[in-house]
Every structure is written in C-alpha cells, then in structure tokens.
Amino acid sequence: MRIECFHLHARNLIEFFKNKDPCDIDPRRFTKPGYEPNGNFIANDLEARMNQQISHLTAKRTDDPTKQLGPKERQEISKAIEAEITRFEKALTPQSEALWRLGLRDMGF
C-alpha cells in the first residue's frame, strides 16, 4: 500500500510540475515571471512505466518482477521530484513562498 501511495502522489506532482493534463493548476500561478515548467525533469520511460503500472486500468500490467517499478526506480523518481521542488521553491513569489513555508511548518518540516 505504501508503494502505491508513493507512486500516486508522485504522479500528481509530476503532472503539476509538467503542467500536464489532467492537472489544471499551472505552477506558474505561484511563481515569479520567467519560471517555465520543465517537461523533461523525469525520464519519459520511467514516467510511462509508472503510469502503466499504477492506478490505470490496463491489460498491459506486468507480473514480471524484473519489469515492475522497484526501489531503484522509486529512488530515481524521488530525486527527480525533489530537484524540481527545489527549482520551484526558488521561483516562488514572496506571497507564495510565505504560504509554502507556513504549510511546511504546519506539517512539521
């Protein structure tokens, strides 16, 4: 269950940071002018595998453990998202940054 939760949240963050359907919240709404979504911050093949294996109805889901997402892929996904969060944080408007910091504090960070 934890692995599925990780991938579901990762997919949401990827869609947000790429400004990609079905997410309809543009990250530029919170940033200074000049920030542009980076559609390549995560490897396309890794994103495609995650989309196929997590929470999509598909007949192509694999039972082959060598083709399933594992710890190595989760680490790669996590690093890519963390780097994109850092880039996003640096571009936040002062108002958005204040709200961001308040949210982090409320979550215990």
Long-range contacts made by residues 14-20, C-beta under 8 angstroms, separation at least 24? Answer: 14/42, 14/47, 14/81, 17/41, 17/81, 17/84, 17/88
Take residue 84 and report the two structure tokens written for it: 């994109």
State the pTM of this model.
0.85
Take residue 69 and report the two structure tokens written for it: 């997402």
Full DSSP string of 4-35: HHHHHHHHHHHHHHHT-TT----GGGGB-TT-
With 80 as the cut, is the pLDDT of residue 16 above it? yes
- Which of 15-19, 55-59, 90-94, 103-107 is least confident? 55-59
Provide the domain count of the chain: 1
Distance CA 66, CA 63 (A): 9
3-state class (DSSP) for residue 93: coil
- What integer pLDDT is reported at residue 61 of this predicted model? 64
- What integer pLDDT is reported at residue 107 of this predicted model? 85
- What integer pLDDT is reported at residue 104 of this predicted model? 86
| Cβ neighbours of residue 29 closer than 8 Å, sequence gap 6 or more | none
- What integer pLDDT is reported at residue 58 of this predicted model? 65
Residue with tokens 């542009």: 36
Domain encompassing residue 25: 2-106
* pLDDT tens digits along 19-76: 987 788 999 999 999 999 999 999 999 998 888 777 666 666 666 677 778 899 999 9
